[in-house]
A and B are shown apart, each in its own frame.
Chain A
Amino acid sequence: KAGVTQTPRYLIKTRGQQVTLSCSPISGHRSVSWYQQTPGQGLQFLFEYFSETQRNKGNFPGRFSGRQFSNSRSEMNVSTLELGDSALYLCASSFRGINEKLFFGSGTQLSVL
């Protein structure tokens, strides 16, 4: 059974650009959640999608957005990139939601120059 797949693995962007990250959950999982990990703030929750609807949202500005497709694959978009957006972005999937066992991908390392 394939695990959670995140693409790309590494990404380099410049300030002001936008970026889209992709996450393919484990087959059958309908919940996908996204996290930002930085050395200073640790691992922080961005948002959760379930059946194509955003169900929970963390405390991040509107520049961070996401969506989920009918096959449960999810994308996260960050617009007008800032230097502080440099981080490891992780996604996790589960059958029903964030209060059950989550399976994480290896993440996308984003560097903003």
Chain B
Amino acid sequence: DAKTTQPNSMESNEEEPVHLPCNHSTISGTDYIHWYRQLPSQGPEYVIHGLTSNVNNRMASLAIAEDRKSSTLILHRATLRDAAVYYCILANSNSGYALNFGKGTSLLVTP
């Protein structure tokens, strides 16, 4: 199974950028990199995903390393509502392997 490694926790000040790292050294060529976040007492919420190129949407940016062995989720201006657990996962419905979110990175945002 392709696996990801994330720090257990990170802290940021409100209105500052946040860079959440993810290592996925065993990624295959057809694995997509997905990011989800989970607020307390809620199901996970999609944030962003990409394959090779950097991606931007209204929530965040995803920077993917050239060798694709790592990626970084960028929140441009953290707000208190961004405090959540962030999961980096690899998804490939053609491979048949399990899609495990693991424990993610718990982001604390302080005012």
Q: Which residues of chain A have a CB within 8 Å of any CB of chain B? A: 4, 33, 35, 42-45, 48, 55-59, 90, 92, 96-107
Contacts and interface: CB of A to CB of B under 8 A. Distances in A.
B58 to A, nearest CB: 14
Contact of A56 (B36, B46, B96, B104): B96
A44 B102 CA distance: 7
Interface stretch (B17-25, B62-70, B85-93): B85-93
Contact of B98 (A58, A90, A99, A103): A58
A59 to B, nearest CB: 6
B102 A43 contact: yes
B98 A59 contact: yes
Interface of B: 32, 36, 38, 41-46, 49, 87, 91-94, 96-104
Q: Is the interface of B mostly helix, strand, loop or mixed?
A: loop
Contacts of B94: 99
B102 A99 contact: no
Given A42-B101, A57-B98, A101-B49, 19 more contacts: A4-B43, A42-B100, A42-B103, A43-B101, A43-B102, A55-B96, A56-B93, A56-B96, A56-B97, A56-B98, A59-B98, A92-B44, A98-B91, A98-B99, A99-B91, A100-B91, A101-B46, A102-B46, A107-B43
